[in-house]
Amino acid sequence: MTKIIPLLLAMFFAVNVSGADQIPDCLENGKPIAVDNERVLSFKDTTQTGFLARAHVYGPIKRVFDERSSHARFEIVLGPEADDMLEVVYNKGFGALPALRSGMNVETCGDFINSEKQNGPYPPSPSGAIIHWVHKSNNPKKHASGYVVIDGKLFGMGHARGHGRIHK
């Protein structure tokens, strides 16, 4: 019994240390990019509907949109102006999120898309732009992974259920 207790304690501490969230680099063309809200706001102001680029942003949740069964959608604040918002579209197939509420701090990495107007089958975003693919990639050689950090906890690194497409 005296040998089991130290072993159990060692296992407990190993799980707690390894369970800490290690936030991955946000990659664009294989290179890390820093949080840059201004760059994303510039994309919103200067690009046309459908423009796509990698993005790494940080801001508090302003509002939570109605959830679809497969995706959580919420808006974060990127700057001081009334329209400095970005819609985050998270595929719940990569893991559950906590109950979302206004004021929670979010860091996210993924694909920015200007969504000011209808884009093919996709309606415009209430925020004028979205960030999606904010989860682990099933094929990192084909598409870089993204993620969402909410109040310091990492999400989007689970194994995919489904194929990762946005379902509108």
Sign of CA dihedral 36, 42, 43, 45: positive
* Residue 88: pLDDT over 70: yes
115 vs 67, higher pLDDT = 115
**What is the rounded CA–CA span in Å between residue 130 and residue 15?**
36
Q: CATH second-level architecture of 25-155?
A: Beta Barrel (2.40)
Mind listing the pLDDT tens digit for each residue in 53-80?
999 999 999 999 987 779 999 999 999 9
Phi, then psi, of 47 in degrees rounded to 5 = -115, 165
Map out the domains of the chain as residue ranges. 25-155
Mind listing the pLDDT tens digit for each residue in 18-35?
345 689 999 999 999 999
Using alpha carbons, select from 73, 40, 75 the residue that is nearest to residue 56: 40
Surface-to-core class of residue 26, CB atoms within 10 Å of its CB (0-12 exposed, 13-18 middle, 19+ buried):
buried
Name residues whose C-beta falls within 8 Å of residue 63's C-beta, 6 or more positions apart in sequence. 74, 75, 102
* Residue 160: pLDDT over 90: no
pTM for this prediction: 0.82
